């Protein structure tokens, strides 16, 4: 696991975060799921897709000059679960919880830069929520990851054909940016 420099875009975001540490530079989204959800399959699909994309396993490390990054596949990152079914208004509570989550600043040198949570609102009603620091995921990458998790989940649960992952890992993207 060798460290390599941040891309120009990542470095700009890192400096912006240093200038404004209380600003949450995050991308956040949720997908509403209705119907039965195989939680174990969703966890497996999420973890596997994250390993393919690599950016969810980026850690920043300090160097003598500028920060660098490593792709650390040893990070254990299970999908979190929050059961809101007993709340009087689970949708309102879920929205409040998600707002608090993506509004919280992250320490880019020590905090986990991406997380996902399955919010259980009612029988067969869920929000699959994720947020990530913009250093490791932008809007396009977030949609790519979401689509890949959905494809892997459909493969696991419904036996649908799984195509090879066509994206590039973080190191390959960095090498293109140099």
For residue 59, the cross-strand partners are 70
Residue 87 lies in domain: 4-177
Largest Cα separation within the chain, whole Å, is 53
What is the pLDDT, as a whole number, of residue 98?
A: 98
The pTM of this model reads 0.90
> In this structure, what token pair is assigned to residue 96?
């409040």
Encode pLDDT of 25-79 as tens digits: 999 999 999 999 999 999 999 999 999 999 899 999 998 878 999 999 888 777 8
Q: CATH code at 15?
A: 3.30.559.10
Count: domains in the chain: 1
- Please state, in angstroms and as integers, the Cα–Cα distance from residue 66 to each residue in 9, 12, 63, 107, 163, following that order: 14, 11, 6, 16, 38
Neighbours of 35 (CB within 10 A): 7
Distance, CA of 13 to CA of 31 (rounded, Å)? 26
């Amino acid at each position: 696991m060798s460290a390599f420099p941040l891309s120009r875009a990542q470095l700009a975001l890192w400096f912006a975060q240093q200038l404004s540490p209380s600003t949450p530079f995050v991308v956040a989204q949720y997908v509403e799921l209705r119907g039965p959800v195989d939680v174990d399959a969703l966890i497996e699909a999420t973890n596997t897709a994250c390993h393919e994309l690599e950016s969810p396993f980026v850690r920043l490390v300090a160097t003598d000059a500028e920060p660098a990054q490593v792709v650390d596949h040893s990070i254990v990152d299970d999908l979190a679960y929050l059961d809101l079914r007993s709340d009087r208004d689970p949708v309102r509570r879920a929205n409040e919880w998600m707002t608090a989550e993506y509004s919280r600043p992250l320490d880019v040198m020590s905090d986990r830069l991406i997380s996902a949570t399955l919010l259980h609102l009612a029988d067969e009603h869920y929000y699959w929520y994720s947020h990530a620091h913009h250093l490791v995921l932008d809007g396009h990458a977030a949609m790519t990851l979401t689509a890949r998790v959905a494809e892997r989940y459909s493969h696991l649960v419904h036996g649908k054909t799984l195509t090879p992952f066509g994206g590039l890992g973080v190191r390959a993207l960095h090498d293109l940016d140099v």
